[in-house]
Structure 1
Amino acid sequence: MAEDFTATRATLLSAFRSGQGATEFLVADAVRVLGATWPTPTRVIDVATDELLAEVLQSSPVFPVWLEQMMTAARRSLLFSAPNEAFAPLRSWIAIQCHLNEHAWAEDATETRLVEILAASLQDLTPEQVMSLASYRPLARLPGADSLLDKGWTGPVEKVLREHIIAVREEQAIADALPTLTPITGAVSEAVRSQYEAHPYPRWRRAGPGAVQTQVNGRRLPKDPTVFIAGCGTGRQAILATMMLEARHTLAVDLSRTSLAYAVRKSRELGIADRITYAQADLLELGDSVGPFDIVQSAGVLHHLHDPFEGARKVCRLAKPGGFVALGLYSARAREHLKPGKALGKIYTPDTVREFRQDIIARPQNDPVRIPAVASRDFYATSGCRDLLMHVQEHELNFDDLRRMLRENDLTFLGFLQFSFQEIRDAYLARFPHDPQGLDLDAWEAFEADNPATFRRMYQFWAQKAE
């Protein structure tokens, strides 16, 4: 007997609409339900009113490959189909999805020709045609796009115009007004800044905060803390930290003004802009003009600096004596499997990421380039693919590097985030029962040697600065 997913669907829809719960886990669970409940083969009419699909498409870049290809086919079908009011919601969901994934999906020559015709006659398009066009091109970049806002359209197309044009214009105005704490110096900082100006990473719509965090491995965090986010990108980390740490105030900095503008807009949207200050800064240039802070966080940033150890010194210096530090750094062992894909990525350019992705998708299932790429959620958006396989600057670290970083900054290791994942925790404790708190770095080094995927999401750990 086929499993009844009615209750699961209802639970997932409620979680999406409440705004609570980690988006990546909700999307993954929802995709499994969609795959198990849709008919095979699946037609556009079969999914046009699927509310769970709507939440998925409007939450984050869709994965895995089968769902991307199914939605790519649906987009094509809608492009060439006659207007049909029943398909209007699906058109809007796909248009918003393609804005999130930065139009990373494949298109053929016939699609390109029709899209170019639509773009050339923008003022004469119907709402359905505008939504189809938005599924292939960023509307805000097309000449005359702003005049679409004067048409007084309502319904699904209104949501698309808000996402594609109104939000983009708001971000452009924010970027122009952002404060600058330091100049951007050095070739590496400038190259990294340029990458994220072109492709802010990641695009997201739901923050998905979890429970309030009051302690780390038995050590109580300060109440109403001040927080510093070093390299905040598009703001999700800063927003989650502010909400989950119940921060009194957060200062979040980044190289990219485009990324920061996205962060400001999302903070306003969530009603917490008064608790977060965003500013452009080069971490290696930060002096004594900011801080100290109760909590300092930097995830996925230090390994993109010219010197990650100097970056760690700059960041950790901003924590108060006795303050807490949370860092996220690439593991060389965990990223070994990405080397073939990164080598292939050197053949492509920032303007040919779509072709690069299709090259990977088209490879055999057991291809060493394809396997790790399609397994990563970053692969499913243009900015994410660049960050994963085509980054302009990247260091990969090991346990000796972590020990050095802790030693140089007078930090006490408080544990890896991965220890909170039940499967990893159980496997670790089965092998190292002497370490119930997961604080033995030598044991973790041995564990990673046998389980290279453990830190695929980076070495993510908490530490405390000496008094």
Structure 2
Amino acid sequence: MKFANSKNARGIEALQGGNIPLAIQLFQEAINESPRQPALHANLAKALKRGGLIDQAAARLTFTLAFDPGSNDASLLSIWLAGGANPNIMDLHPRGLLSAINRKDIDRHPIINLSANYMKNNLPTSRAFQLGRKEDWESAAQWILSASGKAALGNKLFLNCLKAEPICDFEFENLLLKVRRALLLTPPKHLLKKNPLQDFIFSFITQCKLNEYIYGVSKEEEKMLRKLRPNIHDPWVFCILALYHPINSLIVPDEKIKKLFPKPLAQLIRKIIAENKVELELAKTFKILNRADNKTSISVKAFYEETPYPRWSSVNLIANLRRSTLQYLMPGKNLSFMDQSFSVLIAGCGTGQQLVEAAAGYGEKSDILAIDLSCNSLAYAARMAAFFGFRKIEFATGDILGLDSLSKQFDFLECVGVLHHLEKPFVGWKKLLDRLQDGGYMRIGLYSKRARKRFNETKIALLPKTAGGSLTEFRQARYALVSSAEASYKNTLFNSPDFFTLSNARDLLSHISENPVTLESIADFIAKGNLEFVGFETSPVVAHTFDREEGNNNRKSLENWTAFEERHPEAFATMYLFWCRKLS
């Protein structure tokens, strides 16, 4: 231990002095002496990151989390993965992945994606995927439900991934689709006796809830489901139906749930019903700022009332992130006004993931008003904000185009992923600008026309199969795409995490109004609106490439960013996300 501590101290000294190779060497030697000390792994990860070895750094953080599940480095791992880190699957510690998945104060999606890749390449779960690829997914499903697949079915990482977030992976969908079918058409003998199958079933029900029952259903399955429906009070039948239908649509008297159903299933049912009840009550409490009277706004409102987007359950909670972001983008800028009370408008907060992240990021001095067209989305946002402890946020329904009804001006304003759904995005942006104080800051997210070009070509080709109709028809249309779409379409669609949950896929493929913009049009609006461009929030990979090609001192030049995007049209594949400031 003394040897390890000495090496660690010397490693810290080397890191502070800029001798990265020596720091890496010393931290590794300390770990060899004392491999279970989380701080040593954390220090090595930071040294590797400083040395440009981001993939190895991310892998090392899984060791930190394996030995210290509560470490703040869980957030760092999520951020690094989201920013492009791609660690070697064989370098990961599965217990560290499990620790991160059990957190809700980080964005777990990148961890789930990494864990899915890990499970596809490591025993005991890898056998199912080998069978699926070599033979077919029905064989894989039969194996995992057999005695031979018992270890895979009960694997903790697998079960926790199912319960945590939607697994956005095509091979996992193929496997789970066939497992669900097998459970319906050829149920195992032991049904709901306490065994790995029971734990799996309950976890699988949660996964279906999380992805909003997006899987398609065959005619044979539909026939069997109709046959089973009258026996809904039977716990096994209820479980099977709950893999196909939302639990709140399966009516069973509470006394029967208490008497007949296993305790974990009863708890899951009550939890889902209680959450729905809370949202219904919250929806009655919101202040109405204005009512949508624009045709597009009315249609968009109806769209999100039917499928609030996204249905999230975890978020990066990083204290004062907004202030540190601005300080990074504007070194030396005086932001001391944030030490006193200040106002924030989140326009188009949706289901609240950005809102909750912002509430943590602005800190306790912020006074936040969150508005959205959709009452159902806002109810989800309010429930989740309360869950994460942010109870002072004010919520109101309203249309951005009707913000003239709001006389107040704000110190900060955020509108991310909203304006491009307006018929005229810059008209909406002007409405927001009028609600910003002189000297105030605005965080804007807009779809890039260049980045969306290839995807929209795919979308246009597929849209007739997914547009309009009921949610059931949408699920079946998506199922047909999975089964028969051309390879080029599959590559585009299956790489998008939005393809794997109902509300996200509907937003992706069938949104009724989408108007991406260009950097040239953004630059023109900023110039005419008396705004100062502060800078982009981009991934480290994009920032590094830009600096190499255009120069670090040109990060505030939209002309340089335009030239950069012409060469790298995927640079803003998610959207343009940037800050600007209203000049006096």
TM-score by length of 1: 0.91
> Match for 2:178 among 56, 73, 76?
73
- Deviation string for 1:354-384 (max 9, x for gaps)? 12222322246632x2221111111111111
Residue type of the partner of 1:21?
I
How far apart, in 2, do the equivalents of 1:198 and 1:298 lie? 22
- Deviation string for 1:360-416 (max 9, x for gaps)? 22246632x222111111111111111111101110100122113322432211111
How far apart, in 1, do the equivalents of 2:117 and 2:302 lie? 37
Q: Sort the Cα spacing of 1:153 and 1:144 in 2 relative to 1 into closer, same or farther, 3 A.
A: closer
Question: Does the 8 Å CA contact 2:319/2:362 hold for their aligned counterparts?
Answer: no
Is 1:269 the counterpart of 2:387 in the alignment? yes
Q: Sort the Cα spacing of 1:52 and 1:226 in 2 relative to 1 into closer, same or farther, 3 A.
A: farther
> Match for 2:481 among 360, 364, 383?
360
How far apart, in 2, do the equivalents of 1:212 and 1:54 lie? 34
How far apart, in 2, do the equivalents of 1:385 and 1:413 lie? 32
Match of 1:54 in 2: 159
How far apart, in 1, do the equivalents of 2:540 and 2:558 lie? 19
Is 1:32 the counterpart of 2:117 in the alignment? yes
Is 1:202 the counterpart of 2:319 in the alignment? no
Q: Sort the Cα spacing of 1:56 and 1:294 in 2 relative to 1 into closer, same or farther, 3 A.
A: farther
Q: CA deviation at 1:163?
A: 4.6
Match of 1:125 in 2: 234
Displaced runs of 4 or more, over 4 A: 3-7, 143-154
- Deviation string for 1:10-48 (max 9, x for gaps)? 212222223333222212221121112123235143433
Q: Sort the Cα spacing of 1:143 and 1:157 in 2 relative to 1 into closer, same or farther, 3 A.
A: closer
Q: Sort the Cα spacing of 1:142 and 1:298 in 2 relative to 1 into closer, same or farther, 3 A.
A: same
Instruction: State the superposition RMSD in angstroms.
Output: 2.3
Is 1:448 the counterpart of 2:556 in the alignment? no
> Match for 1:63 among 143, 146, 168?
168
> Match for 1:85 among 194, 199, 216?
194
How far apart, in 1, do the equivalents of 2:258 and 2:266 lie? 11
* Greater helix proportion: 2
Is 1:193 the counterpart of 2:301 in the alignment? yes
> Match for 1:333 among 441, 450, 472?
450
Residue type of the partner of 1:445?
T
- Deviation string for 1:410-441 (max 9, x for gaps)? 221111111xx2211121111112x3362111
Match of 2:523 in 1: 403
Partner-residue secondary structure (3-state), 1:56: helix
- Deviation string for 1:135-160 (max 9, x for gaps)? 10012124456666655855431343
Q: Which has the larger radius of gyration?
A: 2
How far apart, in 2, do the equivalents of 1:276 and 1:149 lie? 36
The number of equivalent residue pairs is: 458
Question: Does the 8 Å CA contact 1:234/1:260 hold for their aligned counterparts?
Answer: yes
How far apart, in 2, do the equivalents of 1:390 and 1:306 lie? 16
Matches within 5 A, 1:361-376: 361-363=482-484, 366-367=487-488, 369-376=489-496
Matches within 5 A, 1:367-446: 367=488, 369-418=489-538, 421-433=539-551, 435-436=552-553, 438-446=555-563
Residue type of the partner of 2:349?
C
Q: CA deviation at 1:193?
A: 0.6
Question: Does the 8 Å CA contact 1:353/1:385 hold for their aligned counterparts?
Answer: no
Identity across the alignment (%): 26
Question: Does the 8 Å CA contact 1:227/1:296 hold for their aligned counterparts?
Answer: yes
Q: CA deviation at 1:256?
A: 0.7
Is 1:284 the counterpart of 2:401 in the alignment? yes
Match of 1:465 in 2: 582
Segments of 5+ residues of structure 1 without an aligned counterpart are none
> Match for 2:286 among 178, 196, 217?
178
